Amino acid sequence: MRERYLAEYGILDGYHEPIYHCRSCGDTGRIGDAWCPCRRQIVQSILPDYLPDRMSGEARFSNFNLNVFQDGKAGQKGPNTRDVMADYLHMAQLYTGHFDRVRDRNLLFSGPPGTGKTFLMQCMGHRLMDEDRPVIYITAPNLFDLITRYKRQLASFRPDPTILEEAEMLYHALHSWDLLLLDDLGTEPVTQDRYAQLIMLLDTRQNRNLATIVASNLSVRDFAKQYDTRVASRLKGNFLVYRFPGEDLRGQQAGG
């Protein structure tokens, strides 16, 4: 009788069950102890509104102009700046084009200010975001402020629910998203607590086989002086180092 009634009035069987947008998680946002991909996509779309740093909309591979870098001169020994940057651009395109198959996923861009480190890392970030890969971009001073704010909320007797939820979302992204772009490392005030925060972040992402790209004006040798040997050893042992040559392009453009 029930089946005849449903058929007579055009009612689908299962009408009383909720219709989920995501069948994998039933719109809970979680599968077991992990985030569901649907939640990651939603957070990816809104996360830039919560971050203090934003990637430049101009940072695209199509806008990467090798002509701004100095070409070689007659009699010059070794590769010139433009040739080096052409190789780095090719590396970045291969890295993003074969992201899931890349073995060396951690990169360190080191070199003087204004030599293209930030622009290239943001090009890589935009390329992967175009494929709906979760990418987070943040500068080092704001990274440590974010971690400190999150821990302060956790330790609070009465944490603000809104602030805690936002801080937890950002903290989770730092430790779980496919690619972390950490810019300007070495410009933040250094403390023992920040040593520990940086080491824990790098180790967590390394253990989860997540990709991290760091840009800094410091060399690996400088890290051992400004931080300690533990930080330097992780950057030297777990990261491929790309040294950016040349002079400050922003200064040249301003002077011109």
Per-residue pLDDT tens over the stretch 185-243:
988 887 888 888 999 999 999 999 999 999 999 887 888 788 778 888 888 889 999 99
Domain boundaries, the chain: 35-255
d(CA 255, CA 166): 42
> In this structure, which topology does domain 35-255 adopt according to CATH?
Rossmann fold (3.40.50)
pTM: 0.81
Tell me the Cα Rg of the chain.
Answer: 23
User: pLDDT-based confidence at 14, cuts 50/70/90?
Assistant: low
